[in-house]
Chain A
Amino acid sequence: MAQFQVNAGFMPLFDSAVLVTAREIGFAEREGIDLRLSRETSWANIRDRIAIGHFDVAHMLGPMPLACNLGLTPLASDTIVPFSLGLGGNCVTVSNAVWDGMAAHGARADLEPARSGAALGRLIRARAAAGENPLRFAVTHPHSGHNYELRYWLAGCGIDPSREVEIVIVPPPFMADALAAGHIDGYCVGEPWNSVSVVARKGHIATVKAAIWRASPEKVLGVRKSWARDQPDALSALLRALHQAARWCQNAANHGDLTALMAQPAFLGKPAEIQMRALTGRLDVGGDTIRQVEDFFMPFDKAANFPWKSHALWFYTQMVRWGDVRHTPANTSIALDCYRPDLYRAALKPLGVALPGANAKVEGALTTATPVGSAGASLVLGPDGFFDGRIFDPDMLDDYIQSQARPLQLSE
């Protein structure tokens, strides 16, 4: 007899795997939780169903709880993040025509963000000189890691994402079709929706999230704050179940079972072979060119589940940068309070697992894998660099925001 019932929403994306396995492999049940999963069709539904109490917790885009708490969404409840569902997992895919244009301007099939971005910039300016329409890129949601990493990459390569390209919203399962139909020229989304275009021979992966910002945050567990307050034991039990599930997902010995599970129509509904690309980081970037990407997607390793406050603050800096929100002390503190490593620690401490020594870190400072001081067992972090070599020190928040407010330096 389950002690707690927890209602959870998820979207059909590979990084819902930790939630799905928590139920399907039995980790939730072992913690006394009857975890009820509802597959959703839009992030707006996920957010609204948390707000009106259909869901207690959900698979969410990392910046989405910030957007809720900052009042940027039509319907929102206070949402907190006590657990991250993984690092990495996204790519930027472009149409074959755009890829050919980029290749003509020096891009190579090496996923190198600086090189492919510079080539894209040259293509964009050549198109502008010829009087052609700006390229149209799609992301899954305005308040998503996809939107912010795409913009970070473009801006870092001297392309103004607000003026030189058009950015629109397309649901993940429609991305490949929209690209094939010529409605969009490129997109940034999680797997398997990039490989779907590659398999259909309609697109080429230009770069990956892991290369733009290695070990960067992606989906999180969003939790209605009032539920967390009223059901602290259920939340702790759930976090322990998710911890076990994440470790199971990371283990290569389980990847066959995991991809078979996710291939079911009730979950992701895409073939195991395509999913395996995300798990192994062995990507066909297009035209049968295979690239091995280190740390492409991590559901557990490198403290992937720890809700770093520096991750929330980085999302906040990008929200400020692109005009979603004003930088004020009040907004900063909302962003700071959104991710809750204290709840993560409280739930996992009894298990004696490795816990980071701090709640925030300097992002981009680790160039190699580094063991860090932690309670309990050993913990390895990094490498975690941004592709442009910049560093985000959460203690220097104002300086970072200020430095990004400067006009873009066009490289040519």
Chain B
Amino acid sequence: MSPAPLKILVIDENRIRSAIIEAGLREAGYDQVTIVHDVAGIARRIAEIEPDVIVIDLENPNRDMLENMFQLSRAVKRPIAMFVDRSDTASIEAAVDAGVSAYIIDGLRKERVKPILQMAISRFNAFSRMARELEEARGELEGRKLIERAKGILMKSRGMSEEEAYALLRKTAMNQNRKLSDVAQSLVTAADLLGPGGM
């Protein structure tokens, strides 16, 4: 599989190091690399470049500023690879396992750049997929609870069996082209508004 044309932004005040990173990335076939040495006006640059990956030196105090900017622009979900001069193999693995970071050990060599960046990207993708699945699972669980409550309301107020109540909810959802949990939510809200007497 050939790599997609990935847009990479490298933010590093250290020109020598950023040159090594850039060379490593270009050799690895990433030709859309932008290097920024000064974070002044970075917000506009990010908006222009729309990078897929941002590589920033861990020692850069502006990390907090950048992170906040990503959060505000909802771009925080893009992988942020961080390079640091001092680290060890265990730390790299721990960082990469944590999902969004990559470290490079002392004596930065350009051939190290590609595998670490790739690892960061694939780990990030796995991480964001997992986060998304978790979010969906959570939503589903909440939906299921709502459906249980809605069924209970129908059974109590209309003397239905559990199956009848569920069938009615499902039919309503289908007829109205809505999600089952949304129909259940409406019913629960209505019942709450009407109070105990309404049930």
Give the B-binding residues of A (Cβ under 8 A): 41-45, 48, 51-54, 74-75, 140-142, 168-171, 173-174, 183
Residues of B within 8 A of A169 (CB): 64-65, 68-69
Residues of B within 8 A of A183 (CB): 40
Give the A-binding residues of B (Cβ under 8 A): 40, 58-65, 67-71, 76, 80, 82, 91, 94-95, 97-101
Give the number of A-B contacts (CB < 8 Å): 56
> Are B64 and A43 in contact, CB atoms less than 8 angstroms apart?
yes
Residues of A within 8 A of B60 (CB): 41-42
A171 to B62 alpha-carbon distance, docked (Å): 6
A44 to B67 alpha-carbon distance, docked (Å): 8
Give, as a whole number of angstroms, the nearest-CB distance from B64 to chain A: 5
> Are B65 and A74 in contact, CB atoms less than 8 angstroms apart?
no
Residue of A nearest to B131 (CB): A71
> Are B63 and A42 in contact, CB atoms less than 8 angstroms apart?
yes
SS of A interface (majority) = loop
Which of B59, B61, B98 interacts with A173 by CB under 8 Å?
Answer: B61
> Are B61 and A171 in contact, CB atoms less than 8 angstroms apart?
yes
A44 to B68 alpha-carbon distance, docked (Å): 10
Residues of A within 8 A of B61 (CB): 41-42, 171, 173-174
Residue of A nearest to B94 (CB): A52
Cross-chain pairs A/B with CB under 8 angstroms, 29 sampled: A41-B63, A42-B62, A42-B64, A43-B64, A44-B63, A44-B64, A44-B67, A48-B82, A48-B95, A48-B98, A48-B101, A51-B98, A52-B91, A52-B95, A52-B98, A52-B101, A54-B91, A74-B70, A74-B80, A75-B98, A75-B99, A141-B64, A169-B64, A169-B65, A169-B68, A170-B65, A171-B61, A171-B62, A183-B40
A98 to B81 alpha-carbon distance, docked (Å): 39
A140 to B63 alpha-carbon distance, docked (Å): 11
Residues of B within 8 A of A170 (CB): 65
Residues of A within 8 A of B80 (CB): 74
A170 to B82 alpha-carbon distance, docked (Å): 19
